[in-house]
Amino acid sequence: MHDVSAPAVHHGPPQSFISKYVFSLDHKVIGKQYYALALVAVFTGMVLSWLMRLHLGYPDLKIPGLHLLSKIGAPGDVMTPEYYLQLMTMHGTIMVFFVLTTAPFAAFGNFFLPIQVGAEDMPFPRFNMMSFWVTFVAFLVLIAAFFVGDGPPLSGWTAYAPLSAVGAVAGPGQGLGQILWAASIGIFCIGQLLGSLNFITTTLDMRTKGMSLMRLPLSAWAWFITSCMGLTAFAVLMPACILLILDHVAGTSFFIPSGLVINDQLQPHSGGSTLLWQHLFWFFGHPEVYIAIVPGMGIVSHVLITNMRRPLLSYKVMIASMTSIAFLSYMVYGHHMFVSGMNPTSSLVFSFPTLVITIPATIITLIWIGSLYGSRLRINAASLFALGFISMFVAGGVSGFFLAQPSIDIMLHATYFVVGHFHLVMAVAAIFGIFAGTYFWFPKMTGRMMNETLGKIHFWFSFVGAYCIFMPFHYLGIMGNVRRYAQFVDDYMQPVLGVHKFITIAALTTGAAQLIFLYNLIYSRFWGAKAPDNPWEGTSLEWSTTSPPPWDNFGGKHLVVHHDPYQYGMKSSTGDYIMQTSPEPSPTGE
Amino acid sequence: MAKLFAVTIILIAIASAVPIVRGTWTQPVDISTHGHSIDEQFHETMWEAGLAFLAAQIVLGLFIWTSAGRGPDAQIKRFPGGATGLVLAAVFLVGTEVIALGIFGVNAWAQVYFAPPGPDAMPIQVQAGQFAFYFRYPGPDGKFGPIHPDKIDEANLNFFGLDYDEPATKDDIVTAEMAIPVNREIHLLMHSKDLGHSFYVRELRVQQDFVPGLDVSLHFTATKVGRYEIVCTQLCGLGHYNMKTYLEVMSQQDFDGWLKKEAAMQ
């Protein structure tokens, strides 16, 4: 047992509107700001995906008002191929960086990590405030690409060089648009580095008395592990973005080799390496996949345990498995590059840890499912989304087995199989984790309950809809349907264009159902039923304070932790659980 | 609601497997000598991943069905074997699968990348550029003339930047479609003019990126006469979706005639 007692906060209560709601030092406000940013981003990204799906399903369709978004990209309201790619680039970038990274990690982590460890705030509140505002600026810089020059870049969220490095000569958006993209992502990295530092120090140094590492909730462990990944991954992407900008503006050739002839113009570059960008990008990119999903694993574990009324079969195995995934995530990135021209022996070397990483992922899944057995499962919107997360994680995870093998990747690389795989395992699963966290923690964050009926309706549309959208992608990929095409003009693809129409209809329906969530969120925020302090009969420290918590989290009290985080399933004075702060002895002695 | 959810999970899992089992949407026919090992690896993986998918979803559904709605006094049951059993199962089952797939996968990969092309392999150069492929055959001398990027002039059909005064270049044959003789090994020399592109022929079980600044090579043998699409799979700009051409696999006799005709048109 350690003897750390929670240090006092470094700042007093906010004195003005600006210091309370805008440039706030309070981790809870910063968490909400991140959540609001992610919400704006996710609906922006979703609208872009609607436009893309409409174009793929019905390439000649006039989308009323589209020319208002881009005169060049949509003459007569019909989308051009280049505008499709520009929307695709922005969809991927917004979703990966400003939704999947910010919501499960920065939003929920900011709000709940200090509370779950029993601290009054993070150790560096000004860095924390800066982290959000830097991320906000990054978002504005990215969105600005829509409104300057010939629009956003069309090189995809992976921005492969030399397409991303040679400038406007390579196509619309590849000049100023691409520079703004790289600047945005570079700025975003700064925000996440500051956030990661705060998360790590909060976990290691700010725990209250009795809160040993092995008494942290699994959500706190997940944020801690994720912040360790973030610290190393974003530290690589940021300099890569700087080098990319230099290739544009300073005449350098980090990613551009000699002798390239684009649009009949011999390019004035020499000595660069296109594969260097891929190595740097994916050294960040694959840990990023786990930065998106590991917080979801922690949130889902936390939500499920509370709703199963029992601890997981093994707390330590969960931590070990999440840590193994984080460790292995740096050794697997080369599986994105099997057919890139990288040394083929490297492909085999990268393949093995990619296959091995399925072992801890399987262990985590089996622990969840095994813990469900014989539990007292409570069905509510939060637990439905947590269970849906498991289903999606399995569905998307098994297709990873194919893509981990270089020989099979020869067929499946750059096809819709990859799109189906990563959307299920990384995007849909992670978003289900965000929904589970939202329905679960909303009462604590706002002091009001969300509407359960609307939450369940939202779940059904999302669960069935996600399968209807993303499972057919796998079949199309197996056939050899290439991704990142603005239209499918291959002779080979003509017989299956109906599948794309089906996916488009499913995507529009599922997307529209998200408005139910948005309505529920906004309505409940102002007019929802008042939330009790502990509506779900939880045990961890966030349930030991008021809903919402006061500015210093615990009203000046310094909590003492007596138990591990998941004392459920026994008879106690409170029912079937003992809170971490309760001095009541536990039958398990933990 | 829990029971409905459990049934939905199981039905979705089964429905997802039906097109795979029925072969509704499946891989195109294989026309290469190496493709069968890729396909075998794929089918092996499909069995293992498919069973894991179905088993996990069905058990998840069953446990949701049985555990929801149990009253507050119901006994919490422990999964037989506990965490240790599940960890051992995961390590043993997935570990075996990982090792098996890893080892067998090496063979399929090695056939494509580790075995060098035979001495009789026919060299063909392919150049990718926004948004077209061009092919070059070395002509009777068997040699490709050098490429001069500064001489590229598409308006005058000099796609490769060739200097036809150079002896090795004089008999080179440049085409917009690729023709190859059936059952003859091809040594494909890949060169990008401008950006990243890729060479993907589904039926050949071949996909390889072009790397600007780096010459990459591939070798393969086509076993069935026919016409197949060559498409670009590496995002290369606004016309990426339309960057395609055709591979014509011919009898040796037809190929000789085609090459003669193309040479006459240079």
- Which DSSP category does A468 fall into? H
Query: Among residues of chain B, what percentage have pLDDT more than 90?
Result: 79
Q: Within this chain, do residues A566 and A514 fall inside the same structural domain, yes or no?
A: no
Q: Smallest Cβ distance to A391: which of B20, B60, B154?
A: B60
B257, part of any domain? yes
**Is A540 found in the same domain as A502?**
no
In terms of domains, do B97 and B157 share one?
Answer: no
pLDDT at A9: 56
Q: Are both A508 and A583 inside the same structural domain?
A: no
Per-residue model confidence (pLDDT) at position A3: 44
CATH code: domain of residue B177: 2.60.40.420
- Chain B residues close to A80, C-beta within 8 Å: 238
What is the tally of structural domains in chain A? 3
Per-residue pLDDT of chain A (590 residues; tens, 9 = 90+): 344 455 555 677 777 888 888 899 999 999 999 999 999 999 999 999 999 999 999 998 998 888 888 878 888 899 999 999 999 999 999 999 999 999 999 999 999 999 999 999 999 999 999 999 999 999 999 999 999 989 999 999 999 999 999 999 999 999 999 999 999 999 999 999 999 999 999 999 999 999 999 999 999 999 999 999 999 999 999 999 999 999 999 999 999 999 999 988 999 999 999 999 999 999 999 999 999 999 999 999 999 999 999 999 999 999 999 999 999 998 999 999 999 999 999 999 999 999 999 999 999 999 999 999 999 999 999 999 999 999 999 999 999 999 999 999 999 999 999 999 999 999 999 999 999 999 999 999 999 999 999 999 999 999 999 999 999 999 999 999 999 999 998 888 888 899 999 999 999 999 999 999 999 999 999 999 999 999 999 999 999 999 999 999 998 888 999 999 999 988 888 888 999 999 988 777 66
Phi-psi region of A181 (alpha: psi -120 to 50; beta: other; left: phi over 0): alpha
- CB atoms under 10 Å from CB of B146, counted, come to 12
Question: With contact defined as beta carbons under 8 Å apart, do A142 and A44 qualify?
Answer: no
Within-domain flag for A19: no
Tell me the HSE value of B16 on the side-chain side, using a 13 A CA sphere. 33
pLDDT tens column, B238-254: 999 999 999 999 999 99
Average pLDDT for B72-90: 88
Best interface-test mutation with A: which of B1, B198, B207, B248 has the largest number of A CBs within 10 A? B207
B241: which DSSP letter? G
Q: What is the pLDDT of residue B155?
A: 87
CB-nearest partner of B63 from A166, A372, A413: A372
Strands B197-201 and B206-210: antiparallel
Domain extent at residue B32? 2-68+80-113
Per-state percent for chain B, helix, strand, coil, to nearest 5 = 45, 25, 30
Residue B187 host element (H or E) = strand B185-192
3-state class (DSSP) for residue A301 = helix
The minimal CB distance from A365 to the residues B2, B56, B244 is found for B56
Looking at the structure, tell me whether residues B183 and B55 fall in a common domain: no
Same domain as B231, residue B248: yes
Chain A residues touching B130 at Cβ < 8 A: 170-171, 262-263
List the single residue in B37, B50, B60 with the smallest CB-CB distance to A390: B60
Q: Is residue A248 part of a domain?
A: yes
Q: Are residues A414 and A560 in the same domain?
A: no
Rg, Å, chain A Cα set: 24
Q: B87 in a domain, yes or no?
A: yes
Is residue A12 assigned to a domain? no
Tokens of A9: 């906060």
Helix ranges (DSSP H) in A145-175: none
| A367 neighbourhood in chain B, CB within 8 Å | 83, 86
Q: Do the chains contact at A408 and B45, CB–CB below 8 Å?
A: yes
**Tell me, what DSSP letter sits at residue A337?**
G
Closest CA to A405 of B97, B230, B190, B197: B97
Chain A, chain B: beta-carbon pairs less than 8 Å apart: 314
Interface with chain A: mutation pick from B238, B242, B245, B248, highest number of A CBs within 10 Å? B238
Q: What pLDDT, on a 0 to 100 scale, did the predictor assign at position A2? A: 45
- The reported pLDDT for the residue numbered A72 is 81
Instruction: Clarify whether residues B24 and B93 are in a common domain.
Output: yes
Q: How far apart are CA A546 and CA A563, in angstroms?
A: 20
What backbone phi and psi angles, to 5 degrees, belong to B153? Answer: -150, 90
Query: How many whole angstroms from its chain centre is CA B257?
Result: 30
Give the mutation candidate from B79, B92, B228 for the A interface (greatest A CB count, under 10 A).
B79
Residue A279 forms part of a structural domain? no
Q: Are B127 and B253 contained in the same domain?
A: yes
Residues A510 and A568 grouped into a single domain: no
Q: Closest chain B residue to A257 measured between Cα atoms?
A: B213
Shared-domain flag, residues B140 and B16: no
- Domain of residue A204 covers 31-254
Last residue of a domain, one of A254, A269, A286: A254
With beta carbons under 8 A apart, name residues in chain A contacting B88: none
Q: Nearest CA of chain A to the CA of B127: how many Å?
A: 12
Spatial contact of A260 and A166, defined as CB atoms under 8 Å apart: yes
Residue A517 lies in a domain: yes
Say how many residues make up chain B: 266
pTM above 0.90, yes or no: yes
Mutate which of B76, B148, B201 to disrupt the A interface (most A C-beta within 10 Å)?
B76
Instruction: Name the region of A484 (left: φ>0; alpha: ψ -120 to 50; beta: rest).
Output: left
Is B53's CB within 8 Å of A163's CB? no
Residue A18 maps to a domain: no
Judgement on whether residues B109 and B200 belong to the same structural domain of the protein: no
> Taking residues B32-42, what's their average pLDDT?
94
For residue B74, being part of any structural domain is answered with no
Structure tokens at A552: 């210093």
Tokens 């990023």 -> residue:
A288
Cβ separation A374–B57 shorter than 8 A:
no
A497 and A541 assigned to the same domain: no
> B24 vs A475: CB contact, 8 Å cut-off?
yes
* Shared domain check, B57 and B167: no
Same domain, B12 and B101: yes
The predicted pLDDT at position A14 comes to 76
Q: What is the ipTM of this complex?
A: 0.96
CB contact set of B163 (below 8 Å; sequence gap of 6+): B145, B146, B148, B151, B169
Same domain, A431 and A474: yes
Q: For residues A325 and A357, is the Cβ–Cβ distance under 8 A?
A: yes
The verdict on residue A193 lying in a domain is: yes
- Flag whether B73 is in a domain: no
Domain count, chain B: 2
Q: Are residues A510 and A418 in the same domain?
A: yes
Q: Which CATH number is A131's domain given?
A: 1.20.210.10
Beta strands B244-250 and A265-266: pairing type?
Answer: unpaired
B252-262 confidence digits (pLDDT tens): 999 999 999 99
Q: Quick check: helix, strand or coil at residue A323?
A: helix
Question: CB B53 to CB A369 under 8 A?
Answer: no
Q: Do residues B87 and B176 both lie within one domain?
A: no
DSSP state for residue B94 in the 8-state scheme? I
CB contact under 8 A, B213 and A387: no
pLDDT at B104: 81
B140/B177 same-domain check: yes
Do residue A487 and residue A587 come from a single domain? Answer: no
Is residue A230 domain-shared with residue A348, that is, in the same domain? no
Same domain, B241 and B188: yes
